[in-house]
Structure formats: structure tokens, C-alpha cells
């Protein structure tokens, strides 16, 4: 056999083997979510001291569900199931600090250069007619965020207390909300081969 033919035959065999070895992963909604009644998502309850953050997480869930064709979103009073959320906790702690005496501060003072942020939510799918809980789940997300010590050490700058006003943290809430809601959506599905 000519060498060109052998190479072509080997290539064809490799392609056939590679394409035949794979499998596809399918999914369908879990029975509770597959209800033809649709789902209404009310504003989350907020059990934290972070005012207004419940809107960010509610909007992220609505966007995640709306971007999929499997679930039908309905308005209140249309007889749909309710996917109720509770923002359980939002916490942030310094995870990295400057050296003592950073930029002329007193020797005992250190500033955060990084924060660890954690958000926890709880969701419950409820039949509002009977009050029966169809599904429930708890989700959390952790992220690290940089803290700008050059801003927070300047007591003359009005924005120097950025982390105290939560502006830097709130910028991360939207990313964390999207990450959590992807996990929520995955939990609504049954996977099969």
C-alpha cells in the first residue's frame, strides 16, 4: 500500500474512533420545577444588615431562569409555584494585610489589602395554594477581592472609607449572585447520559 493511502486510512480510523467514543450529557427539569403552572420569583427576604442586596440576588435568579427555555416565569396571582429566597448571610473579613507602619502609619497599624467575601442564600419552591414545599436548597459563594490600601489609608480623601461604605463589596455582589444562581439552576436539573 502506498504511504499516502496508509496515512489517510489511519486518519480516518482515528476520526471514527474519536467521534464514536464520546457521549452527550443531557438534562431535564426535576419534577417539581417541570410544573406547567410556571414559577413566580418574589423579592428575596434579607436577613442580613446589607441593605438592598436582596435585589441584586433576586435579579440574578430571574435573569438566570429567564435565559433558559425550560422554565416559564409568571407574575404573582397567575397560579404558579413560588421560588422564595432568603439572603441568609453576607460576611467579609480581611485575608491579607499590609506590613505594620504602612506608608507612615503607626507601627501597630495595618490595612487590609484583600478581603474574603462570603454570601449564603436559601431557596424554597412552594405551592402557594397548599403551602407544600416542593423543593429547597442552600447555596453559598466565596470570593476574594482586592482592597486598595492607597485609598483607605488617606484620611483626607472622602472615598477613603470605601470598604466601610461597602461600595467595593457591592461591586462583587453581582458576580457572586451570578455564580450562585448558576449553581441554583444546575440544582433544578436532573442530568442523564
Domain boundaries, the chain: 24-192
Measured CA to CA, the distance from residue 150 to residue 24 in angstroms comes to 50
* pLDDT greater at residue 48 or residue 9: 48
**Owner of C-alpha cell 492607597:** 150
Provide mean pLDDT across the span 93-112: 68
The architecture that CATH gives domain 24-192 is 2-Layer Sandwich (3.30)
Q: What residues pair up with 18 in beta bridges, in sequence order? A: none
3-state SS class at 109 = coil
C-alpha cell at 32: 417539581
In this structure, of 61-65, 102-106, 143-147, the range with the lowest mean pLDDT score is: 102-106
Q: pTM for the whole thing?
A: 0.72
Measured CA to CA, the distance from residue 14 to residue 16 in angstroms comes to 5
- What element of type H or E holds 83? strand 81-97
Amino acid at each position: 500500500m502506498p504511504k499516502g493511502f496508509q496515512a489517510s486510512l489511519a486518519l480516518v480510523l482515528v476520526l471514527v474512533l474519536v467521534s464514536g467514543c464520546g457521549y452527550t450529557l443531557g438534562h431535564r427539569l426535576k419534577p417539581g420545577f417541570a410544573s406547567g403552572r410556571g414559577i413566580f420569583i418574589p423579592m428575596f427576604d434579607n436577613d442580613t444588615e446589607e441593605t438592598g442586596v436582596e435585589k441584586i440576588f433576586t435579579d440574578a435568579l430571574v435573569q438566570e431562569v429567564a435565559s433558559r427555555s425550560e422554565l416559564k416565569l409568571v407574575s404573582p396571582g397567575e397560579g404558579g409555584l413560588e421560588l422564595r429566597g432568603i439572603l441568609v448571610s453576607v460576611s467579609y473579613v480581611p485575608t491579607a494585610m499590609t506590613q505594620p507602619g504602612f506608608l507612615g502609619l503607626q507601627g501597630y497599624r495595618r490595612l487590609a489589602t484583600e478581603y474574603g467575601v462570603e454570601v449564603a442564600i436559601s431557596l424554597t419552591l412552594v405551592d402557594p395554594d397548599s403551602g407544600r414545599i416542593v423543593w429547597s436548597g442552600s447555596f453559598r459563594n466565596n470570593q476574594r477581592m482586592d482592597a486598595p490600601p492607597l485609598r483607605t489609608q488617606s484620611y483626607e480623601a472622602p472615598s477613603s472609607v470605601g470598604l466601610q461604605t461597602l461600595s467595593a463589596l457591592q461591586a462583587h455582589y453581582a458576580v457572586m449572585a451570578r455564580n450562585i444562581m448558576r449553581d441554583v439552576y444546575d440544582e433544578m436539573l436532573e442530568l442523564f447520559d
